[in-house]
Structure 1
Amino acid sequence: MRLMFVSDIHGSEQALDQVLVHYAKLNPDYLVLLGDLLNHGPRNPLPEGYNPAAVAEKLNPLAQQIVAIRGNCDSEVDQMLLKFPCLAPYNHLLAAGRRLFLSHGHLHALDELPLACGDVLVTGHTHLPVAHREGEQYLFNPGSVTFPRGENPASFGMLEHSHLSVRALDDGRELLGCDLD
């Protein structure tokens, strides 16, 4: 199974267009959206290409391939524009022989979750890419496609077979990687 992870679009049509180019090339089984889809949030500036309605229009045709969770900037008003559920505070996926616990990152911390050995906590929210083992679990954050932080480039994530990778949005090169062994 191939999964593509995207977090913190914040209504940027320009960032989503770049995501969709990679989506078409990589052809994942599912597009996992880790929250903050349409709204830029009160602490962020307006992103380049800010157009939440257009972002919704471009995501809606992919509804059957999308698994989404709610970010701290997502609301019931956003759900009215989207044809897939996006308001769950968390979700689980089974992939690569692992349980992936999906959370935007503002509600759940690793030490608060009943994760088993080898489970993967997948978050967004911090806009900082992460891909490593932490004790008995794995931590994965694809970074942000719109507002990257910490001098990191805009990025997205992939799970292919048992390899997690954070990739640069501009050219798809791997920035960070971690094997689930």
Structure 2
Amino acid sequence: MRYLIASDIHGALPAAEALMERFREEGADRLLLLGDLLYHGPRNPLPTGYAPAEVARLLNRYADRITAVRGNCEAEVDQMMLDFPCLGDYTLVVDESTTLLLTHGHLNLGTVVAGLPAGSFVFSGHSHIKGIGPQAAPAFVRDAASFPGSRRAGDSADDGRRDSEGGGGGVTGECGGSDGPAPAITFVNPGSIGHPKDGSASYALYERGAVKLHML
């Protein structure tokens, strides 16, 4: 299966439209959303093209291909707007023999992460900063580097380079594949679609044990 993973749309319709265009272009089988989909939140300015009801209608067209978890901005009214479950604190997706844990990143799931099998991936958003490696772990993981075999900071997305064309083709980092054994836990933050705090909206692609970050 080919998964596109995104987080923190925050009701930004133009960004959500661009995301769904990427979803189609990438040929992904499912869209995994890590929370904060509709509401901008009291701490954030209104994003460009803020239209949460329109974002809900757009996402609902793909309801049968979306798996989502709750962010710190989700509420019961958001679930009333969406045709797919969005209020779970976390969910597990098992792709062949690899476990993917999806969570927003604001809740303490340390015991859940500690119990994951070797080779698992933890996808979380919340910080609005993309990355792969211990620095991309959610805050509740006090010392991600202490997880046996966790991906080192030197393997992070920050060490990659965006290609000259930019846009959706800009790969900012990757891990997995055939270059050595898989880490026990790989932490991935796809960044934010609607409110990036690192200068660029982004998403992740996962397929067969490998993950890459892309600019939106």
Give the structure-2-normalised TM-score: 0.74
Take 2:117 and 2:20, find their aligned partners in 1: how far apart are those partners?
33
CA distance in 2, matches of 1:75, 1:32: 19
Report whether the alignment pairs 1:37 with 2:37.
yes
Which piece of structure 1 moves more, 106-115 or 16-25?
A: 106-115
SS at structure 2 position matched to 1:39 = coil
Q: Which structure's CA Rg is the greater one?
A: 2
CA 1:94–1:14 in 2, change beyond 3 Å: closer, same or farther? same
Q: Tell me the equivalent position of 2:174.
A: none
SS in 2 for 1:164: strand
Residue 107 of structure 2 is aligned to residue 59 of structure 1: no
Aligned position for 1:162: 209
Using the alignment, how far apart are the partners of 1:17 and 1:109 within structure 2? 31
Counterparts of 1:81-120 in structure 2 under 5 Å?
A: 81-95=81-95, 97-108=97-108, 113=113, 114-120=115-121
Residue type at the aligned position of 1:31: L
SS at match of 1:77: helix
Count residues in correspondence: 168
* Matched letter for residue 211 of structure 2: L
> What is the Cα deviation at residue 8 of structure 1?
0.1
Aligned to 1:10: 10
SS of residue paired to 1:17: helix
Question: Identity over aligned residues, as a percent?
Answer: 42
2:145 pairs with 1:144: no
Structure 1 counterpart of 2:123, one-letter code: V
Gaps of 5+ in 2: 134-150, 153-182
Q: Secondary structure at the match of 2:62?
A: helix
Which segments of structure 1 move beyond 3 Å, counting only runs of 4 or more? 108-112
